[in-house]
Structure 1
């Protein structure tokens, strides 16, 4: 849920309290596992920005516990501190007691969302601003039904080719919103009027079959990554299934406190992939992959019969004999998305895969343990914090001075590409699998 009642720059706030939900036994049980050692603090991006205990994992857990026990009110300041969390889960990676902070922050937001909706119902309102209602409409109409994006993509391609967005931005007719500024990123992408087939047969010696999870944002603005994944998997000998009934992974809903909506999407995805004779379900966007893996771990009823894997993890275990890569005398900086690093724990696979390309100079981006600020819709909801974190990434990119920046999450790619545009840097931001597909050859 977006909190619009507190402005970090001015410090103004609305202390109106929200009616308290019954305490969550699961939240309290997990919160009590935190021993308040503080090892997480230096790894938390928002704590590093504010140096406020309330903006640290330890502080937020204490606040959650206080609200669940009715010791403190669930007011706007509480909501503010929950909203500021990026859900990067860097704290989980270093926690000696393995506290499931990701589940805690989701549960806290679910309680907030339920209370906001209950209060709105009592007041006879909708509980959302005009912007919030528009966003909810788009989520319900498009994100929850991502196949509709296939119909939208030709329109997006037409708008970009007409350079309408660029002209409106130059004339300042449109507000310079982070999402609108993504037109630079989009012009770099291959946006075919492509409608998905249900199956793409293997080329060469067959090795098996997998399914590809498309996601919602990727399938409309970053088709090149998905088509690159098809190319690589087919050439490795895998038939790729793309079930039409698949939908959004549910991460945007889950992290906004809309647990019921996220669960409904999980059920639809479970049904979509059920019955396929496959070895794995592969995701190219680490944010989607993390959500699907979390669903399988936390809700066995919604788990698929085969494992969900990040595509890099799957590719790392393959036999690449018979395939070679054209040399590329370029430098690539590797950004490790938080979901790939902290949740899927698969960022280590990026480097040996890229090393298959002869001549490629590979460098880990400095500060990969810190979030870039994208964090789903965070860079739209919390631009001040998101841009502060982005500045650190832009400095690291400038120091690396690469020809390419690779990242495994589309939201991170959008956010950093926008930042590079503002800096006047002509550095292509792309997915690691796209770089592999471009250089891939068959002997």
Structure 2
């Protein structure tokens, strides 16, 4: 019997983009879920429109002019479209490959992004800023910069003080056959969300896991989504080497924004959000009551990448007397989207207004959000609007309410 020759897989970036784009059936179900389509009402600012642009660029039917590529650069990478796509188009992969094809945007704030990717430099800058009293003058300095300046957005987003790291309470002694989990700290999160990382280790150890903390460095998401493929691949190799040296069986992070990039770098590794592992052993944990009304903001990466919003809510509802209110999730991202809030601050602020209005509808005493970029971005908007909701990572609240066995 004669066998049909199998179709050859795409072996160039252009062919890969073309194959991914061909999966789109142009049904338009993605349009109502797209934040930028809602913002502009333009087909070119929708997933369907961007897929058409990517296909044209890959075929050589269009040139990556500034005006054309701006539609691709505006994409937040929220992946709302992937959740509703009947054809299972891998839109996130298509976007990454297309940005790699055309390269980074001309006015990318490289100096600022280099600072954010280097925890040592970021920590030093925070110390110098604290010594210089930056909390008193940063808003005045920001106001002197152009409205579309990445540095203005960064100054407005910085917290007034670094998050206080809670000492880890008495640790559980894992059994000899305990599962070993490696915690990936990341870059910005390793400084601004250090409290959440300590909380994650406390919760996982209390649940019976053996936990090791990896060195802090960037996962590569900033470069991967910015078209800097060589730099992203170098960081992916570092992640592989660091993971191998850990001898762990699971890799976790407290920042859902790192998950997709880590899974891409380590496709055969169990990479997850720390909340998922803790929730799987919730029967081993007890929490003290807390009579407080909290708003839970679910970042796009929590819903569309980690896909564990249910596990997170289960954990929080285990705190007696806690009044948990999930923020109504319109089909809009808060606008943070990694570096989007720095590269397109005015657009990001418009999206943030909608999210803050949604949070206000539940009248919270406190705001919880698991993505450090989202939380800092929302906090900057709260400051500008005179709102005063204390905010933290959900795992930080859980660790503070955890009952530790003597």
Under a length normalisation based on structure 1, what TM-score does the superposition of the two structures give? Answer: 0.81
Where in structure 2 are the equivalents of 1:17-416 lying within 5 Å? Answer: 24-113=14-103, 132-135=109-112, 138=114, 143=117, 145-146=118-119, 148-149=120-121, 152-153=122-123, 156-157=126-127, 159-160=129-130, 163-170=133-140, 175=145, 177-183=152-158, 185-187=159-161, 189-190=163-164, 202-206=171-175, 207-244=178-215, 247-297=217-267, 303=268, 306-321=269-284, 323-367=285-329, 369-416=331-378
| Per-residue deviation, residues 170-201 of structure 1 (Å, max 9, x unmatched) | 47676482211234x34372169x9xxxxx99
Q: Kindly indicate whether the alpha-carbon contact (under 8 Å) linking 2:180 and 2:210 is maintained by their aligned counterparts in 1.
A: yes
Query: Alignment partner of 1:97: what SS?
Result: coil
| Per-residue deviation, residues 384-423 of structure 1 (Å, max 9, x unmatched) | 2211110101111111111111111110011101111111
Distance 1:215 1:429 in 2: 20
RMSD: 2.6
| Per-residue deviation, residues 97-147 of structure 1 (Å, max 9, x unmatched) | 100000111111111117x8xxxxxxxxxxx55x745346x25xx62x54x
| Per-residue deviation, residues 286-317 of structure 1 (Å, max 9, x unmatched) | 001221123334xxxxx5xx411111111111
Which deviates more, 97-106 or 422-431?
422-431
| Per-residue deviation, residues 237-264 of structure 1 (Å, max 9, x unmatched) | 32211233x6311111000011121111
Where in structure 2 are the equivalents of 1:424-435 lying within 5 Å? Answer: 424-435=386-397
Query: Alignment partner of 2:294: what SS?
Result: strand
Distance 1:51 1:285 in 2: 31
Query: Alignment partner of 2:153: what SS?
Result: coil
| Per-residue deviation, residues 216-250 of structure 1 (Å, max 9, x unmatched) | 00112221111111222222232211233x63111
| Structure 1 unaligned regions, length at least 5 | 1-21, 117-127, 195-199, 298-302
| Per-residue deviation, residues 16-65 of structure 1 (Å, max 9, x unmatched) | xxxxxx87000001101100000000000000111100000001101111
Q: Kindly indicate whether the alpha-carbon contact (under 8 Å) linking 2:185 and 2:214 is maintained by their aligned counterparts in 1.
A: no
Distance 1:356 1:157 in 2: 37
| Structure 2 unaligned regions, length at least 5 | 1-11
Q: Kindly indicate whether the alpha-carbon contact (under 8 Å) linking 2:163 and 2:194 is maintained by their aligned counterparts in 1.
A: yes
Distance 1:161 1:404 in 2: 29
